[in-house]
Amino acid sequence: MIRGPIRSDSVEAEGYRGLRTTLSYTRLPEGRRVVLFTSARRGEGKSTTALNFAAVCAYGERPTLLVDADLRNPQVDEVLGATGFLGLADFLKGVAHASLADLVVPTRVPSLDLLPAGGPVANAAELLSRPALAELIEVARASYDWIVFDAPPVLPIADAVIVSRSVDGVVLVVDMKRTPIEAARGARDLLRAVDAPLLGVVANRSPAKATAYGYGRYPG
């Protein structure tokens, strides 16, 4: 179970604000704010980072949508109390009356809405490949300044690589204590192979910093 979201006045929030500034001013194309967080494997901090990044965007009074695209393991739904709700999978299936506005749920953070994973699904990769995903993102752009995707890991399944083609930017979370460098490189290479818009790396559990969170560029 992940914790969160962090408080606006916490030390960690300062780190996420730095990440937000870096992405919006130096990495993302002007006016493009659809960001996906992924990592090589499970348990490296994708959901924690996506949730807290989205919260910090919302604390900045920017309407923000957090999308739980980890259809097989919807952790952010769990922490935000939206387990079992209709959501992304139902939109992609074209379920009747499943418009974006009907599916999003407000969270306890003002300005932060959640699109739950929905489902359950047997065919996550096939659903995420549908053109409806790009349609959903275009509709969401009209209502939200930031759209933040929490994704599954890259190495075991195709889902995150598939979704990465539809977003403005992809951030690779690396667990500095646990992710082997070969795994991080493997994830990077899979994303590069589909021309995913890779923006950089978040160094999670970075021992170099007093706080638990950090960010940085991919070395080389």
Residue placing its CB nearer to Mg ion in the complex, 43 or 106: 43
Q: From Mg ion, ligand ADP, none, which one binds at residue 213 (CB under 5 to 8 Å depending on kind)? A: ligand ADP
Centroid of chain to Cα 115: 11
Report the relative pairing of strands 34-39 and 146-150 from DSSP bridges.
parallel
Q: How far is the CB of 77 from ligand ADP (least distance, A)?
A: 12
Residue holding tokens 């690589």?
161
Cα–Cα separations (whole angstroms), residue 61 to 26, 35, 58, 142: 21, 18, 5, 16
Q: Give least dist CB 155 to ligand ADP, A.
A: 12
- Cβ neighbours of residue 119 under 8 Å, at least 6 residues apart? 71, 74, 87, 89, 90
Ranked by CB distance to Mg ion, the top (closest) residue is: 47
Residues that bind Mg ion (CB under 5 A): 46-47, 75
**Shortest distance, position 38 Cβ to Mg ion, whole Å:** 9
Q: Which residues contact ligand ADP by CB under 6 A?
A: 2-3, 39, 42-48, 75, 204-205, 212-213
Structure tokens at 7: 């408080």
Classify strands 112-115 and 105-106 as parallel, antiparallel or unpaired.
antiparallel
Residue 43 or 110 having the CB closest to ligand ADP? 43
Cβ proximity to Mg ion: between 27 and 46 the closer is 46
Among ligand ADP, Mg ion, none, what binds residue 45 when CB lies within 5 to 8 Å by partner kind? Answer: ligand ADP
